Amino acid sequence: MIQLILLAVHIAAGSASLASAGVALVTAKGGRWHVLAGRVYAVGMTVVFLTAVPLAVLGASTFLFLIALFSFYLVFAGWRFARNRQRRAHPVDWIAVSAIGVTGLAMWGYAVVIALDGSSQWITLLLFGGIAIALGLADARFHWKQPGGARRVSRHLTNMMAGTIATITAVTVVNVDMDPVWVPWILPTVVITPLIVWWNVRVLRRARSS
C-alpha cells in the first residue's frame, strides 16, 4: 500500500513537472509564466526525488537510487543558477557539485557490477555517470571562475534541460518497450542533447553581440 501511494504521488509529480517544463520552454525567458512554470517544475521534481528514493529503497534498486540522485541534482543546480544572480557560490553549491561527482563515480562502479552480472543496463549507467561528472565539473568551473551573466543563463539552461530529459526518459521507459532495454533510457538524451548545445551556442552568441 505504501509503495502504491508513493508511486501515485511520484507519477502525478512527474506529470506536473513534464507539463510545466513544456510551458517554461515556450514562454519568454525571465517572464512571469516562465518563472512560475520553473517553480512548479522544481517543486514537482523535488517531489519526484523524495518519492523515488523510498521506492528505490523498498524495491532494493541501487540503479534507480542513483538515477534519482542524478535527476535531482540537475533540477537543483538549474534552480540555483536561476536564483544566484550574484554568481557567488554558496556552500550548498559546492556540496551539490561534490555529491554529483560522487554519484557519477558510483554509477561507473555499479556499471561494472551489473555488467559482470550480465545486465545491459551498464550502458545506461556508463553514459549517465559520464554526464554527471561532466556537468559537475562544468558547474564547479563556473562556481570557481564566476564568469559573466550569460554563462549563468547557460548553466541554468543546461541543467534544467537535462532535468527535462530525465523526466522524458522516465515516461519513455514506462511506456516504450524496446530491446535492448537500455535504448529507451538513453534515447531522449541522444535526441535532446543537440538541442541543448544549439541553445547554449545561441545564448552565448547573443551575449557577445550585445
Confidence of residue 160 (pLDDT cuts 50, 70, 90): confident
Distance CA 200, CA 192 (A): 13
The whole-number pLDDT of residue 35 equals 86
**In the prediction, which pLDDT does 62 show?**
84
Identify the residue with better confidence: 196 or 147. 196
| Total-model pTM | 0.82
The three-state secondary structure class of 51 is helix
Closest CA to 140 of 80, 94, 77, 79: 94
Query: d(Cα 102, Cα 7) in Å, to the nearest integer?
Result: 27
Using the predicted structure, report yes or no on whether residue 136 has a pLDDT greater than 90: yes
Burial class (CB in 10 A: 0-12, 13-18, 19+), 169: buried
Return the minimum-mean-pLDDT range out of 110-114, 119-123, 141-145, 150-154. 150-154
128 against 146, higher pLDDT: 128
Q: Which residue type occupies 4?
A: L
Q: What angle do CA 54, 107, 82 make, to 5 degrees?
A: 75
| Structure-block grid coordinates of residue 12 | 502525478
Contact (CB, 8 A) for 22 and 164: no
pLDDT for position 110: 94
| 11-52 pLDDT tens trace | 898 888 888 888 887 887 778 888 898 889 889 889 988 998
- The per-residue pLDDT for range 60-112, each reduced to its tens digit, is 788 888 888 888 899 899 889 888 888 788 999 999 999 999 999 999 999 99
- The secondary structure of 84-136 as a DSSP string is -TT-PPPHHHHHHHHHHHHHHHHHHHHHHHHHHTT-TTHHHHHHHHHHHHHHH
**What pLDDT is stored for residue 101 in this prediction?**
95
